[in-house]
Amino acid sequence: MTTDQTPPDTGTKPLRADARRNRARLLEVAEAVFTERGTGASTEEIAREAKVGIATVFRHFPTKEALWEAVLVRRLQRLAEEGRRLMTESGPAHAFFAFFDLVLDQSPVKNAFAAALADAGVDVRAATSEAGRALREVLVALLDGAQRAGVVRRDLEVPELTAILVGTCRMLEHLDGHPESAKRARAVVRDGMRAHPGSRGGRGRPHS
Amino acid sequence: MTTDQTPPDTGTKPLRADARRNRARLLEVAEAVFTERGTGASTEEIAREAKVGIATVFRHFPTKEALWEAVLVRRLQRLAEEGRRLMTESGPAHAFFAFFDLVLDQSPVKNAFAAALADAGVDVRAATSEAGRALREVLVALLDGAQRAGVVRRDLEVPELTAILVGTCRMLEHLDGHPESAKRARAVVRDGMRAHPGSRGGRGRPHS
DNA sequence: GACGATACGGATAGGCCACTCCGTTTGTCC
DNA sequence: GGACAAACGGAGTGGCCTATCCGTATCGTC
């Protein structure tokens, strides 16, 4: 909770108490609003929902895009954290799919997370790509562990893994309200990533 | 509302020659622009690119949303058509995956198509859901044929199939410029939909 | 509790965009 | 080829949205 997420270095002066609280609340609310209404949601709405003036929003985040970026970074950081936790708590064979499920469960709502991962992949800003890099490292470890354990097809690599997560998020978003279909869609992707039982340890799949 | 959209039926008065051409060109251009810049693209840009005044756009499509809807319907119609063609040209075992690839190849560019399918699934307007219904029928036939032929897992149903197409579009969009990764991501989904070689004809998968 | 610095809030500027009005052009039919 | 309706073009309008200015309130420190 504490986690003054903005890098604690950069010689930034200690923020005043209320400012600190407002900033945190803004990030919270912004994440919710962006998640619900998409990036097109107006800054005014976020301000209203966070019970601050618009000026306060722009004081903390010089631009709307900067706010979006900050929300993004927070998400990526949390995700990387949870990935690391899973790796130490479960064995490598389980951690990978646990993370897969966690990602998909975490954002049952809308597309914001997909956008987050998407942007991370494309490496937008410095901060974002910093957090994105951390997450990517976790993904590498998870994937490698699962492949060594023989539970994930060997030909899978990180770039497409990111895309698969993004795409599957979209699938589930689209199946919101149809839990049975969502379960099956998820199973399709999960099974597709699984090492083929027949081809023990070999390349991923016999043909195309 | 009545929706004087593309089909020359519904007793709509015969359009003047130039009007007809403009309308067609507008749809063409709008599809391209929406596909490239997203739904946020300005109507003015579409008008400019189509070499007509803005008023002409709004004369043919009373609202921006109506224009988007018309583009959508066109896409869905074309897709259903191609699905039907595939069904008669190839055997049922091949048609399903051929359609899968066709959908994914057809929109290598951006998200517009995904949005199309997505909206179709949720059934937005009357016209859209009409076209959407036609496409859904094709999907039913394709899926059923492939399942009878034993090449697609039995537990797959149409709702998640739509979502899978949408989500996979997004995957590939995200992997634009990385053809190898895109190929593997596509393989993951395709293999996930395939009937498991071990479980012959049975339910889709042993567990969760 | 008082003072300086820091942060806040609301009114507002400025830009973009969907949509309209009306004078002008173009197609169609005789 | 002429007349009438249909369609066109583009300037204009109103609304929304990002971003800023400045007077006011709050924090932190003595």
**pLDDT tens readout for residues A145-158:** 999 999 999 999 99
- CA–centroid distance for B57 within its chain: 23
**Model pLDDT, residue B202:** 42
| Listed range (A23-27, B43-47, B100-104) with the worst mean pLDDT | B100-104
CA B26/CA A172 separation, integer angstroms: 34
- Nearest-5° Cα angle at A113, A156 to A28: 145
Looking at the 3D structure of chain A, how many domains does it have? 2
CA of B78 to C1' of C29 (A): 36
B63: Cβ contacts below 8 Å, ≥ 6 apart? none
A17 strand C contact, CB < 7 Å = no
- Name the region of A201 (left: φ>0; alpha: ψ -120 to 50; beta: rest): left
A112: Cβ contacts below 8 Å, ≥ 6 apart? A31, A34, A35, A38, A39, A71, A75
CA A26/CA A61 separation, integer angstroms: 10
> Is residue A96 over pLDDT 70?
yes
CA A116/CA A118 separation, integer angstroms: 5
Which residue did the predictor score with more confidence, A186 or B122? A186
Give phi and psi for B200, each to the nearest 5.
-70, 115
> Is residue A203 over pLDDT 90?
no
What's the DSSP call for residue B123?
T
Q: Find, among A135, A184, A179, the residue nearest to A161 by Cα.
A: A135
> Is B164 close to A188, i.e. CB distance below 8 A?
yes
**Model pLDDT, residue A3:** 41
CA A26/CA A71 separation, integer angstroms: 9
Reduced to 3 states, what is the DSSP secondary structure of residue B73?
Answer: helix
CA A192/CA A196 separation, integer angstroms: 8
CA B127/CA A47 separation, integer angstroms: 38
**Model pLDDT, residue B124:** 52
Residue with tokens 């809807």: B69
Q: Report in angstroms the alpha-carbon separations of B79 from A189, B36, B102, B107, B122.
A: 24, 19, 9, 11, 17
Q: Within a domain: residue A3?
A: no
When pLDDT is averaged across residues B142-155 and rounded to a whole number, the result is 98
Q: Within a domain: residue B202?
A: no
A46 strand C contact, CB < 7 Å = no
Q: Which residue of A123, A164, A172, A186 is the best one to mutate when testing the B interface, meaning the one whose CB has the most B CBs within 10 A?
A: A164
**Model pLDDT, residue B195:** 95
Residue A42 maps to which CATH number? 1.10.10.60
For residues B184 and A155, the answer to whether their CB atoms sit within 8 Å is yes
Reduced to 3 states, what is the DSSP secondary structure of residue A88?
Answer: helix
Q: Within a domain: residue A100?
A: yes
Same domain, A104 and A185: yes
B55: Cβ contacts below 8 Å, ≥ 6 apart? none
Residue B57 pLDDT level (bands cut at 50, 70, 90): very high
Same domain, A113 and A207: yes
**Domain encompassing residue A159:** 71-208
Residue A87 maps to which CATH number? 1.10.357.10
Structure tokens at B34: 């929406």
Q: Within a domain: residue B122?
A: yes
- Nearest-5° Cα angle at B166, A30 to B37: 65
3-state helix, strand, coil in chain A (%, to 5): 70, 0, 30
- What is the sign, positive or negative, of the torsion defined by CA atoms of B142, B146, B148, B154? negative
Could you tell me where the DSSP H helices lie in A90-178? Answer: 92-106, 112-122, 126-148, 158-174
Same domain, A56 and A77: no
When pLDDT is averaged across residues A91-98 and rounded to a whole number, the result is 96
DSSP one-letter string for B12-39: PPPPPHHHHHHHHHHHHHHHHHHHHH-T
Which residues of B fall within a CB distance of 8 Å from A181?
A: 157, 159-160, 163
CA of B133 to C1' of D5 (A): 39
Which of A17, A40, A62 represents a domain boundary (last residue)?
Answer: A62
Protein residues with beta carbon less than 7 Å from any atom of strand D: A 16-18, 41-44, 54-55, 58, 62-65; B 15-16, 18-19, 22-23, 51-56, 59-60
Q: Within a domain: residue B32?
A: yes
> Is residue A199 over pLDDT 60?
no
Q: How many helices (H) and strands (E) does chain A have?
A: 9, 0
**Model pLDDT, residue A125:** 58
Q: Does A154 touch chain B (CB under 8 A)?
A: no
> Is residue A33 over pLDDT 80?
yes
Q: Which of B50-59, B132-141, B166-175, B196-205 has the highest mean pLDDT?
A: B50-59
Mean residue pLDDT of chain B comes to: 85
When pLDDT is averaged across residues A186-196 and rounded to a whole number, the result is 96
Same domain, A174 and A117: yes
Orientation angle between helical segments A126-148 and A64-89, nearest 10 degrees: 20
Beta bridge partner(s), residue B194? B152
Q: Within a domain: residue A49?
A: yes
**Model pLDDT, residue A122:** 47
Same domain, A99 and A169: yes
**Model pLDDT, residue A67:** 95
Q: Does B175 touch chain A (CB under 8 A)?
A: yes
Q: Within a domain: residue B114?
A: yes
pLDDT digits (tens, 9 = 90+) for B75-111: 889 999 999 999 999 999 999 999 999 999 876 554 5
Q: Does B146 touch chain A (CB under 8 A)?
A: no
Which chain A residue's Cα is nearest to B120?
Answer: A174
SS (H, E, C) B51-69: CCCHHHHHHHCCCHHHHHH
Same domain, A159 and A103: yes
CA B137/CA B129 separation, integer angstroms: 12
**Model pLDDT, residue A132:** 86
